[in-house]
Amino acid sequence: MTLLPTTLQTPRSKLRLYWSMTKSLQTGLLLSTGLAGYISARCPVVHWTTLAGLTASLFLAIAGSTILNMWYDRDIDMKMTRTCSRPLASGQVTPSEALRLGLALAILGVGLAATMSPLYGLVVFAGLFFDVVVYTMWLKRRTCWSIIWGGVAGGMPILAGRALGVGSIDITGFLLSLSVLFWIPTHIMTFSMRNYDDYQAAGIPTFPSTYGFTLTRVALAISSLLAAITIGVAGMLIGMEWGYLRLLVVMSAGLLMLAVASVFRPSERVNFGLFKYASLYMLTSMLMLAMEAL
């Protein structure tokens, strides 16, 4: 890949770089949780203006916090094979440019959210704060337990969507948020096992480097089980029909089977399968929550 100095980039190539900094797949997955949280409230979902506002504000806030994380972690990204070609780490985007972009998107996102509903705005802001300040700036380089806070931040979009739908923070919203919190370790731990050397090179404490692979896999299996239980209970509280619950049970069984296989028959293939399946699991669960309410 030929790297152009930042002054020679066309607006189109600049936009492409900015887009890649938003981690569109991850942002899209978190956005889908927020939309599912909102739709699960069975509010009249044909309020297209509210739905559009929710989508825009969540996208801006999540993309903004992702870029701010990337800005703060640029020194780590340079040391890791997987991330060294990212726009900031490779020098295609300057740090001040990334900071400005991240702050602008985050302020726009939280601002829009706050104008739609103060409570919704507060939860979106909490997600941004937990993700950027608590997880990335404060804990990520100090302890492997930082993923708990990463999980709390990851659970905020669905809680925000639900809060916007029902007008308060209810037990269902709390459970939905908890399900994402329990799901996050499955995603992050499989990832940190897969990229173990990279994280070691960057000096980031991870569960595998602190407690070993075996204990990490056990933690991962327990976390998957808890995610499946909480999302199932939340589904029942929402009033999910039996058919969708059946499908949720099947998808959860697949997740648990892979998690258990990773404990008793560990291999790179099972680990990769669990990592990918976990993302698919979250996406399909959110789709089911949404379809059920529509």
Partner 1 sequence: MKFSILNRVLLLASSLLAAYQIAVGIDDLEAVPQVCYTIGFGVLLVSCLLLLILGYEVLDSQVVVVVATSIPLSISLGMVWEYLPAIRVPYLVFALAGFVAVLITRDFAAGRPATLVLVVVHGIAGLVIFILPVYLSLSGRVNPGFILVGIGGGLIGLGGLLLSFLKMGKPVLPHETILNLLPGLLLAMTAAFVAGFNLG
Q: Which of residues 100-119 bind partner 1 (CB under 8 A)?
A: none
- Give the relative orientation of helices 156-166 and 171-194 as an angle to the nearest 10 degrees: 160
The CA distance from 236 to 289, in Å, is 10
Per-residue x/- mask for partner 1, residues 201 to 240, rule CB under 8 A? ----------------------------------------
End-to-end CA gap in the chain:
45
Q: Which of 108, 133, 247, 260 binds partner 1 (CB under 8 A)?
A: 247
Q: Is 253 in the site for partner 1 (CB under 8 A)?
A: yes
Instruction: Provide CB contacts within 8 A for 150, sequence distance 6+.
Output: 131, 135, 140, 184, 188
The DSSP call for residue 6 is: G
Least separation in angstroms between CB 270 and partner 1: 9
**CB under 8 A: which stretch of 16-24, 205-213, 216-224, 241-249 binds partner 1?**
241-249
- How many angstroms separate the CA atoms of 45 and 102, rounded? 30
What is the smallest separation between the CB atom of 277 and partner 1, expressed in angstroms? Answer: 6
Picking from 270, 257, 252, 259, the residue whose alpha carbon sits closest to that of residue 217 is 259
Is 260 a binding residue for partner 1 by CB under 8 A? The answer is: no
Stretch that binds partner 1, among 62-70, 125-133, 151-159, 247-255 (CB under 8 A): 247-255
Please give the single-letter amino acid code of residue 20: S
Q: Are 98 and 71 in contact (CB under 8 A)?
A: yes
Which of 122, 273, 283, 290 touches partner 1 (CB under 8 A)? 273
**Residues touching partner 1, count (CB under 8 A):** 19
Tell me which residues touch partner 1 (CB under 8 A): 242-244, 246-247, 249-251, 253-254, 257, 269, 272-273, 276-277, 280, 284, 288
